[in-house]
A and B are shown apart, each in its own frame.
Chain A
């Protein structure tokens, strides 16, 4: 018989708050879910960051709704990958970086950490670049808007309360519901949307190199290395218990579905530009163009959602760096601790945020080069990160009953092979840019 009751058999002195008692099983299950809810939604929705907004609307603008099927295909992939992280986090109560160090030695530990910190920092620069771009189109001077955003983002994590941080970030995630209103407002053809979401089709111009690399960009945007590190650390920081596994899986699944639907809405916004045969260089420019057609409300909503995406990306990515660094250094690393008890952890977080914001404000900073490097580094890192995750999940000495089953391994190795192929194609394109024809 399954029961969700926690803690009541223990001495009440070990609890830091009064337990809640309910007499209805469904109410108990629902309440328990909401207590566990958070890390899954946050890790998934924060992945719809500024880079993702750019990639999805660009896809919609170039290919209309024809790549919606890819999002549906990525839903189970992203869920399976993150579900493994949840199991590892709940079973060990440790972060991902610490586990790689302990089980694979110093070389891989240092490599994974250095790569994570580098990719994360470069990604943060792109988040602040998006904030600057959107603020500029909203008529706010980025010279003071970006520093204000950086200070606010730093303050968000410094409250000494995990729960406060989580509630604020979950609220920001739910603001993305506005993407559904935008998708509805731009009047997509429902039949076409459904058909292209369920049936993969050839793009209008055939299978070109630009189509292939947009596909790779979507995969790379939907499954990112920082997510593995973030969710495991988040699960550990929230101190999720063995009995919370199923609720945490549901949280991750709900997050994955929500994120994919929001990503689909972003493509539909881009599809509105496709219908008008518009071209644009960034989502902020598209927002201005669409504003001319659908009114200033839509323009402002798109720009604010772009900022929200960047804010979500910034706080989660900076935290994944701070948690990973703190774990490896053996420093106290918890959002629940006040600054004086975890100075190193908060210093890494603040440094990531403030340095990235500062770099964006430097005139003529090589932002295009940074964006390219982010995509390639993440593409290189992801397959190897998942290989380690897969090996850790087969570590019965550590995980016992939480270890992978045979079907898990079949699914996950298939994902690893797919990601390696895409990673190789991306790496080949960067190494030899003229390897693939442009049309």
Chain B
């Protein structure tokens, strides 16, 4: 993968010196702003699948709870 950086304008000679900084010592990088993101846009199929998944998980949790109570007795 080719990464472009702020060093692309440097000459070949200047590029021979590599400068490295530990990620935790580096200036913070501007990431994707996720603070004001709304819920994801989903197609109807994805929404139905997630609804089915929710039902499946609730059913399995109920079954597991029942089985654990049975074993605990």
* Interfacial residues, chain A to chain B (CB-CB below 8 A): 1-10, 14-17, 19-25, 27-28, 31-32, 35-36, 91-94, 98-99, 102-105, 107-108, 111, 162-163, 238-246, 336, 366, 369, 372-373, 376-377, 380, 384, 387, 391-392, 395, 397-400, 427, 430-431
Contacts and interface: CB of A to CB of B under 8 A. Distances in A.
A229 to B, nearest CB: 16
Nearest to B40: A103
Nearest to A402: B32
Contact of A102 (B23, B37, B42): B37
Which secondary structure dominates chain B's binding surface? loop
Contacts of A372: 68, 71
Contacts of A21: 17-20
A1 B9 CA distance: 11
23 contacts: A4-B20, A5-B20, A9-B6, A15-B21, A15-B25, A19-B20, A20-B19, A22-B18, A23-B18, A24-B18, A35-B20, A35-B22, A94-B31, A102-B39, A103-B39, A104-B50, A241-B26, A242-B3, A244-B23, A369-B71, A380-B61, A387-B50, A387-B53
Interface in B52-67: 53-54, 57, 60-61, 63-64, 67
Interface of B: 1-3, 5-8, 15-29, 31-32, 34, 37, 39-42, 46, 50, 53-54, 57, 60-61, 63-64, 67-68, 71-72
B58 to A, nearest CB: 9
Which secondary structure dominates chain A's binding surface? helix
A239 B28 CA distance: 7
Contact of B26 (A4, A15, A391): A15
Given A2-B2, A111-B57, A239-B29, A23 B16 contact: yes
Given A2-B2, A7-B21, A380-B64, 20 more contacts: A3-B5, A3-B15, A4-B18, A4-B20, A7-B19, A9-B5, A20-B21, A35-B23, A91-B32, A92-B34, A104-B39, A108-B50, A239-B26, A246-B1, A336-B24, A369-B72, A372-B68, A391-B46, A392-B40, A398-B34
B17 A23 contact: yes
Given A1-B2, A384-B57, A25 B39 contact: no
Contact of B5 (A5, A14, A399): A5
**A19, A91, A94, A366: most-surrounded residue (chain B CB, <10 A):** A19
Contacts of A8: 7, 19, 21
Contact of A19 (B19, B54, B67): B19
